[in-house]
């Protein structure tokens, strides 16, 4: 959510920043509502002062027996009372309209975000590892012989429908091992605090992180009003919802492994094969709550944390800075990490790390108390995948595949698999 004072004082710059996202100017409509609202508030205050003055004079007129003045003043009090009620009601309605409009405007990109219209204009900032040269035709994850016994889309379809999967046996264990490896690395080496959070949240929590009101169709809502989280970003970031925390406690860094739920609205026909795009999946999410002065550096630190997981697993990847036209609603800058998938012969997103500035904090009214004193200030928030577990499973299986249908597993996972190193062609851990 944006600061209306900033828009008043920097209308041209505000519209210019939105233009980089391909949006038309919005400050004229915003400022028209804001001006009208402020005028009504001022008029109500003026009417209140007039009412107060008339109320004091009513008694004096009555005391001196001036019945005509008494009646005039009493009528004036009633008139001003009705006027105040009307003005306050109109100002309240315009305040709601203003906040609704501000809620639907995306964040402003940092100056160093590349300009562009879509993913084709994203800029590569790093590449790590070299995709292996295979002497056989690479298969997609769901086609690998050793994977097929443990990745069941038919049973999932019977139970739940399309875009679900049932994992069993060795494949399920590798999936679990990946999540544990990610969590342990982030906690033991990257200094994040592990959290276990609900996957059902109140509606206001979805507003706080920006999933609502604009993107409600992308998530699932229960019949009693809870929302199923699209990622633990929602729960972890809302830890500070409505709070005023001490500056000395910043930064606060969290990691959580949760089930995630997305309707995949608008993605019909995309990635329908395999488990690349599912309605239910798991992620290890990272969230940082920081001081405004350190949030940009925190973006680079979080990106390195996510990259480090892939490097420990030996998975080639590239990191791209998203352009203005491809960046998410709440982000000021985003780094996407794309892992190499031999079966598709391309890099595919496995993590997206974003700095949101005070955009989410304003929606949540999350502030910190400066150590040096002064008024509370809004915190800055960041979020990122560390990593998407299912997509990491896909990458491990495809990059480790062998000609005979077996899969060589990354050394980093061996301790989590009881020392086993291979998924055999018949689907066993050996």
DSSP 262-281: ---TT-TTSS-STTSS-SEE
DSSP 183-234: HHHHHHTT-PEEE---SEE-HHHHHHHT-TTTTGGGSEE-TTS-EE-SSTHH
Partners of 427 in beta bridges: none
User: If we measure between CA atoms, which residue out of 352, 254, 373, 240 comes closest to residue 299?
Assistant: 352
- The 8-class DSSP code of residue 326 comes to T
Residue whose token pair is 């040096």: 372
DSSP 84-149: HHHHHHHHHHHHHHHHHHHHTSPPPPPTTSPP-SSGGG-EEEEEES-----SSPPPPGGGSTTTGG
Count CA atoms closer than 13 A to 193's CA, side-chain side.
Answer: 13
Residue whose token pair is 């070299």: 130
Backbone φ and ψ of 130, nearest 5°: -120, 120
- The 8-class DSSP code of residue 429 comes to B
Judge whether 232 is annotated as a binding position. yes
Judge whether 285 is annotated as a binding position. yes
The helix/strand/coil state of 342 is: coil
Backbone φ and ψ of 357, nearest 5°: 60, -140
Judge whether 262 is annotated as a binding position. yes
Judge whether 233 is annotated as a binding position. yes
Torsion (CA) 339, 263, 178, 304 in degrees, nearest 10: 50
Judge whether 351 is annotated as a binding position. yes
Judge whether 264 is annotated as a binding position. yes
**In what helix (H) or strand (E) does residue 430 lie, and over which residues does it extend?**
none
User: If we measure between CA atoms, which residue out of 188, 306, 285, 283 comes closest to residue 239?
Assistant: 285
Residues in contact with 267: Cβ distance below 8 Å, sequence separation at least 6, in sequence order: 277
Asked if 215 and 430 touch (Cβ cutoff 8 Å), the reply is no
- Sheet with 193-195: strands ordered across: 123-128, 317-321, 333-341, 346-357, 380-388, 280-290, 252-261, 193-195
Return binding residues for L-serine: 231-233, 285, 385
Q: Which residues are annotated as a binding site?
A: 231-233, 262-264, 285, 349-352, 385
Feature table: binding site for ATP: 262-264, 349-352
């Amino acid at each position: 959510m944006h600061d209306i004072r900033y828009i008043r004082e920097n209308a041209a710059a505000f519209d210019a920043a939105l233009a980089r996202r391909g949006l038309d100017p919005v400050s004229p409509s915003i400022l028209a509502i804001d001006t009208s609202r402020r005028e009504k508030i001022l008029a109500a205050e003026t009417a209140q002062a007039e009412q107060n003055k008339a109320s004091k004079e009513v008694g004096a007129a009555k005391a001196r027996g001036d019945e005509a003045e008494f009646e005039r003043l009493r009528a004036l009090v009633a008139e001003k009372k009705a006027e105040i009620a009307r003005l306050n009601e109109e100002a309240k309605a315009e305040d709601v309209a203003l906040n609704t409009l501000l809620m639907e405007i995306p964040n402003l990109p940092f100056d160093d975000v590349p300009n562009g219209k879509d993913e084709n204009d994203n800029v590569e900032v790093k590449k790590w590892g070299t995709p292996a040269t295979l002497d056989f035709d690479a298969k997609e994850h769901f086609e690998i012989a050793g994977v097929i016994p443990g990745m069941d889309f038919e049973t999932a379809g019977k139970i739940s429908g399309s875009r679900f999967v049932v994992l069993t046996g060795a494949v399920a264990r590798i999936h679990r091992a990946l999540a544990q490896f990610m969590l342990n690395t982030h906690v033991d080496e990257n200094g994040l605090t592990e959290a276990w959070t609900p996957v059902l949240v109140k509606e206001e929590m979805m507003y706080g992180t920006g999933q609502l009101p604009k993107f409600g169709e992308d998530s699932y809502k229960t019949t009693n009003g809870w929302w199923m989280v699209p990622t633990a970003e929602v729960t972890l970031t809302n830890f500070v919802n409505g709070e005023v925390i001490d500056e000395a406690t910043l930064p606060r860094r969290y990691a959580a492994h949760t089930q995630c739920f997305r309707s995949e609205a608008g993605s019909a026909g995309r990635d329908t094969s395999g488990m690349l795009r599912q309605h239910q999946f798991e992620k290890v999410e990272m969230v940082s709550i920081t001081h405004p002065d350190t949030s940009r550096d925190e973006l680079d630190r979080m990106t390195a944390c996510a990259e480090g997981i892939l490097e420990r697993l030996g998975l080639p990847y590239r990191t791209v800075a998203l352009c203005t036209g491809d960046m998410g609603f709440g982000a000021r800058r985003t780094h996407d990490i794309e892992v190499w998938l031999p079966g598709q012969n391309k890099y595919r997103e496995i993590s997206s790390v974003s700095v949101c500035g005070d955009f989410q904090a304003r929606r949540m009214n999350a502030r910190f108390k400066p150590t040096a004193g002064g008024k509370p200030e809004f915190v800055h928030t960041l979020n990122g995948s560390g990593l998407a577990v299912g997509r990491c499973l896909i990458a491990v299986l495809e990059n480790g595949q062998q000609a005979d249908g077996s899969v060589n597993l990354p050394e980093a996972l061996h301790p989590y698999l009881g020392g086993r190193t291979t998924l055999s062609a018949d689907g066993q851990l050996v």
